[in-house]
Structure 1
């Protein structure tokens, strides 16, 4: 960068111009360039190939809840870095970097609000936060969401997006699997619906626990859903896996999920499912 550009950029009253990086978004699905504004107005779905981009809790809450109806649940306080873990970086430094990049306290954020004027608790995993990995904080947030749903006698909806358990917390991360399972049982004992929306990607220990225990299993189009990776499975069984294996449409065809729903229709579909389940259980 020349000294003229450095001086110009340092002057506070000169407005920053939009650049190609801010005007355009490259679709991960088809590789086409899409206007960023068009991408955002289309709920982060490519208008050319229908690829569903990954979105975080803020966008998801805005799309699903009634406008202005929701409040974030307070962040559960847990012990951070219980193992004092370090790989190429300190775990504590990775947490700080993830919080700075996403603005979220951890990978699962929960909120209480209304959907079509019906009370509902929604949890959203953010893949941008350390791959949406499941640690003690995620387990605590999940249980908190269940308890809030029981308190308000309303459904609990979870949007999953994860690479699995968080290795930096060792066995403590794996303990969140049975912990979440017990919480779901309490929700069922209270006669309340538990709905799972599987987004890209949902893998590992999350798939092996609360992601596959919903009363209704919904997935976004072409979402990657599975436990182990395709290459690991192929190397284990010495077989070539079918085309589209572990994608939402393949799982729907083989009975593992109930429906695949486009993002533009997700709010309406959830409203219908919640209305049906709540009326059925009340009856």
Structure 2
């Protein structure tokens, strides 16, 4: 067996491929650990994969998954809408609006989400009846708080209001990433502030807003599991009810984890295509390299061409 020796180049140097020994050692270690984990997962009978397959598409699990997706979608839509309003108010020149938006963001980002969920669920202890009427005047309508604040309503209020505070900071950072010259140019052609925000600033800011918004959506999918504390029957609550009856805790938790991972994978793919859509015109096209500057002279080592002389010719002396 013969080994091929590198051929010397024109300048006499020999090019030897780089040897990354550390990378190969790390890759072998990672593959070994991964194989050990896969083997232990299928060799350990306590995982009860037969139970996982039995309950993976069970009706209570699928119903809980549907409620999780519904709660995630509605909470994110409300949160994004609130975030846009909060961001615009934070950037407003009106000190009352900017202060109110800052206070909203400070409160809902500063308190734990579980505390907010419990607060909304037990709102009737603070306000037994919700009254509608003239401020500081007669009450026209009174509604029992317990009839309004159901577990779903409390979960929706807690998740969406909390998400609105975080989305406000995300949208604000995206708006501030746009150069002020864009706003000045829009004003110069007669656009109002709302038209400038809707037609000029936000479309460009989406390139910065979309990636963290995708992360927040995936996070919201997992945050819905916290509503188990108020008794709303989403995915985790559904599997917990099942394993409290048959005592198959680990297999049922694996079922929930599989569905969370599957939905996260779908959301990640969607996020990728949305990011690629809004990055058009900002990132270079893959596979194309910038053209090299034209050579100033032919032949290797040729220098730049001499500039033509512009000195006038001297007339011969008489």
Q: TM-score, normalization: structure 1? A: 0.23
Q: TM-score, normalization: structure 2? A: 0.21
Relative contact order: is structure 1 or structure 2 higher (C-alpha 8 Å, sep ≥ 6)? 2
More strand by share: 1
More helix by share: 2
- Structure number with greater Rg is 2
